[in-house]
Amino acid sequence: MTRRSGLLLSVAMIVGAPALAEVTLSRGATPIPDGEAVSPGDITVRNDRLAFTLAVESQAPWGVPRGVIVDLAPVRDGTPDLDRIAFADFIPNNWSAWPNTRQEVEVLAETPERVAIRVTRDFGDADIATTYTLDDGSDRIHLVTTMTNNGATDLADQMSGFTLWPDSGYLFPVPGLQGVGSGPAEKALSDRVVAYDADWFIALHAPYFDRVEYDSKDLYLLHSLAPGESRSFEGWLQVGPSGDLAPVVAAEIERAGTASGRIAGAIGSSQGPIEDAVLVVEKAGAPFAWTMTPTGSYDIALPEGDYTVYATAEGYSQSPARQVTVSANGTSTLDVDTLQPPGTASFSVTGSDGEPLDARIGITQGQAPLVEFLGRRTFFTGLDQPGQAEAALAPGEYVFTVGHGAGFLGAGQEVSVTVPAGERVDVPVTLELLAQPRQDDWYASDMHHHADQLEGTTPPEFLARSELAAGLDLIFVSDHDSTVNHAELARIAEARGVPFIPSIELSPSWGHFNAYPLTLGEPLRVDTSTATAAEIFAEARRLGADAIQSNHPFIPYGYLASLEAGTVPGGFAPDIDLLEMNGPEDDLRVFERAGQLWTRGQRIFLSAGSDVHDVWTSESGSARAYVHVPGGLTAEGFVANLKDGHAYVTRGPLIAPSVLFGSDLRTQPGQGTPVSFDLTAVNGLARATLVGPGGEIESRAFEGAPTRATAEFTVTSGTEAGPAEGVDWVALTVEDAQGKMAFSNPIWVKPLAEADVLPQE
């Protein structure tokens, strides 16, 4: 039994109630199991289909102002199921919610037939008023938000709209926009996004939107508001008790009044009908919806038009695709009885020395289920049996990519496998590693990684599996505003004999900060929705942090971006130690800002993290910090040397310097001193560039993209009085043949004092 299912059972035994046909409103801690709203003034609204809670007094996630939906769940037999969201509400401008100073909550209707609540808050000179309405018997919360500009200037280029951030399960993006993480929505085939698992769904219907952000979790309208102007946004949060999306499509048809027909039939194998099989529906070449067969048969309404459909089930084969035309008020019958049962692939992964290696195993070619509760596309070797993994798979031909530290320590290896129906196949894999930096006391960690709190969906065990498979040398976690996973990960790390760095991501809406290492399991005691920067940093130190890292500092809610926008409560506070490189699009900007700090003598150094929330869809350690830790690896030693700048960050290339980053290079004034860097890149080396306060000093290109090379440079300092014509720091950037970069911390260039200069013979 999982933690969440056990919690559901225990709470249901305590607060179980008969089914409610009417709508009710209650105040106090949420009755939704695993919910975050815990204060006396919070408000829960429920009927016999769903329950949701507004955090009126409780703290909302990510520093969002109070008065928003933080808990949402299906209701089964009168009892709320587990909370399935971190947050689902209105955002005025791409996760910027400040400045906010007030909140008003009004109950507009409270009858057995309807509950309606309006919450009004300010956003600078704007008012944000949202009405939440739930009717008797409805599976949808009706949302209407009105945004009014009460100021004297335009609110230009606002990205406003509703969001849906689940805290478990999977996400089915806006149909037609799969693979579009951010951007315009012209190719959208529908106006909804769905969070789901086998036993629930939550759909956000947002007919106003014209762009998506964060893989369709945010459905925004790009707009402006003149002084005195208002704009309304209408949406619906629909909740269901299974992963069947037929009700979602039916709601779309009903709302839009679209002409529609139906597809119906049965799905099975040679052994008969298959319960909980799935019919996948594609439209215009893109996944559109699916429906399930609780008893072996299905029935789904679809807007009239042409579709491609196929059937599958957990571990079963996929039927051939068939074309279906749905006509208005017509029904097409389609039965499938050809599905084949699953087989098993058993992997054994070792290095060239025969020792087992932790590994990530991904399906590169072969059947990878669209509906993710039918089967994973990514697998990891075990904690108790390193190098061993088993996967139940649909029968067929596959190509897997197997790697340990792939892209850093070695290349992922492609392995072709035939999986027979109902049988087991052994898959031995030997990986050749190109580099082993730990032999020279260089150790890696992903300094920004989530487990299963808030929108994170990775249980602690799989966080550890993924980080070890990535070739990382320490286990690290930084959940949003939570330390609950520290104890379990400390236990796992001790069992595997690797250090553990307990962290937390302090998450006000104007900047996120990782603090580490922390006192194990110490809970957060600051309100991130109201705290100033100085108060946030003081809380990090109280938690025991030796280092404070400014995460993704230039994204819209990053610390440096918010300082430039003037939205940091209390203004600038200086107590940060590290700037994170988190996204390739911002890395150069972070490196440039760090260089400006170094030129001013501020020793704020670089760190890096992947910000992974789901290890099955994103790779741990895709950005990582390599730190030189002499004398044996410990968490404390790693953090101390990272904080002192004895490190570089990388997305692929590895660096071994002749002069340690963060240390002094003593040179005779006006004379050159050689420095060299041994470089390794799995993808092949393209270029190494030495930079200083004025930018590029010298660059080396590598013909033929070798995997190993040495870059040598000559560094000239200024005088004791100042840098003059020399430099007072140098750093290295390295680019591989795929454009992946590494960035070093500085080497401080200091002229020898006259007394230190040896006489010439």
Task: Dump pLDDT digits (tens) for 641-682.
Answer: 999 999 999 999 999 999 999 999 988 777 789 999 999 999
> pLDDT tens, 540-559?
999 999 999 999 999 988 99
DSSP 559-575: HHHHHHHT-STT-----
What is the pLDDT averaged over residues 350-355? 96
Exposed e or buried b per residue across 678-701, where buried means at least 16 C-beta atoms within 10 angstroms of its C-beta: ebbbbbbbbbbbbbbbeeebeebe
To which H or E segment does residue 665 belong?
strand 664-667
Provide the CATH number for the domain formed by 434-645 in this structure: 3.20.20.140
Tokens 């890096």 belong to: 608
Q: Tell me how far the alpha carbon of residue 584 is from its chain's centroid.
A: 15
* pLDDT higher than 70, residue 23: yes
State phi, psi for 736 to the nearest 5 degrees: -95, 180
| Tokens matching residue 221 | 């309208």
Q: What CATH class does 346-433 carry?
A: mainly beta
Q: In the chain, which residues fall in CATH 2.60.40.10?
A: 257-339
Cα separation, 648 vs 442, whole angstroms: 10
Residue spans in the chain of domains classed CATH 2.60.40.1120: 346-433
Q: Is 9 helix (H, G, I), strand (E, B) or coil?
A: helix
Residue 206 pLDDT > 60 = yes
CA-wise closest residue to 484 among 513, 451, 529, 527 = 451
Q: What is the pLDDT of residues 67-107, one digit of tens each?
A: 999 999 999 999 999 999 999 999 999 887 667 889 999 99
Could you report the per-residue pLDDT of 473-490, keeping only the tens digit for each?
999 999 999 999 999 999
131 pairs with which residues across the strands?
118, 144
- Grade residue 584 by pLDDT with cuts at 50, 70 and 90: confident
Nearest CA among 611, 578, 612 for reference residue 597: 578
Q: Which two tokens stand for residue 97?
A: 């919610």
**pLDDT reported for residue 697:** 95
Hey, what CATH class is 652-761 in? mainly beta
Whether 16 shows a pLDDT value over 50: the answer reads no
| Check whether domain 3-243 has CATH 2.70.98.10, yes or no | yes
pLDDT (0 to 100) of residue 557 = 85
Look at residues 432, 445, 435, 444 and name the one whose alpha carbon lies nearest to residue 402. Answer: 432
- Tally of CB atoms within 10 A around 676: 13
Q: Given strand 388-393, what is the order of strands in its sheet?
A: 388-393, 343-351, 424-431
Mean pLDDT of 338-363: 97
Q: Band of the pLDDT at 760, cuts 50, 70, 90?
A: very low
| pLDDT reading at 716 higher than 90 | no
Q: Nearest-CA neighbor of 148 among 89, 92, 106?
A: 92
Query: How many CA atoms does the CB half-sphere of 655 hold within 13 Å?
Result: 36
> What is the DSSP track for 235-272?
EEEEEESSS--HHHHHHHHHHHT--EEEEEEEEEETTE
Q: Does residue 99 have a cis peptide bond before it, meaning omega lies within 30 degrees of 0? A: yes
C-alpha to C-alpha distance for 687 and 681, rounded to whole angstroms: 11
Query: Is the separation of the CB atoms in 508 and 531 below 8 Å?
Result: yes
Specify the amino acid at residue 23. Answer: V
The vertex-31 CA angle with 29 and 34, nearest 5°, equals: 90
Report d(CA 278, CA 22) in Å as an integer.
Answer: 33
The ranges of the chain annotated as CATH 2.60.40.1930 are 652-761
Q: pLDDT tens digits, residue range 681-705?
A: 999 999 999 999 999 999 999 999 9
Question: According to the model, what pLDDT value does residue 98 have?
Answer: 65
What mean pLDDT value characterizes the chain? 93
Encoding tokens for residue 612?
């992974």
The count of C-alpha atoms lying within 13 angstroms of the C-alpha of 600, restricted to the half-sphere facing its C-beta, is 8
Answer with the residue of higher pLDDT: 759 or 588: 588
Q: Residue 97's pLDDT is what?
A: 65
Domain limits, CATH 3.20.20.140, in the chain = 434-645
Q: How many CB atoms lie within 10 A of CB 724?
A: 15
Question: How confident is the model over 735-743, as a mean pLDDT?
Answer: 98
Strands 192-197 and 200-205: antiparallel
Q: What is the DSSP letter of 407?
A: T
Rounded mean pLDDT of 500-519?
Answer: 96
- Checking if the pLDDT of 567 tops 90, the result is no
- How far apart are the C-alpha atoms of 389 and 381, rounded to whole Å? 5
DSSP characters over 597-614: HHHTT---EEEE---BS-
Given a cut of 70, is residue 14 above it in pLDDT? no
> What is the spatial distance between Cα 404 and Cα 396, in angstroms, rounded to a whole number?
25
Share of the chain above pLDDT 90, in %: 87
* Burial of 532: CB neighbours in 10 Å, binned 0-12, 13-18, 19+: middle
CB distance 531 to 569 below 8 Å? yes
- Residue spans in the chain of domains classed CATH 2.70.98.10: 3-243
Any idea which architecture 257-339 has in CATH?
Answer: Sandwich (2.60)
- Radius of gyration (Cα) for the chain, nearest Å? 28
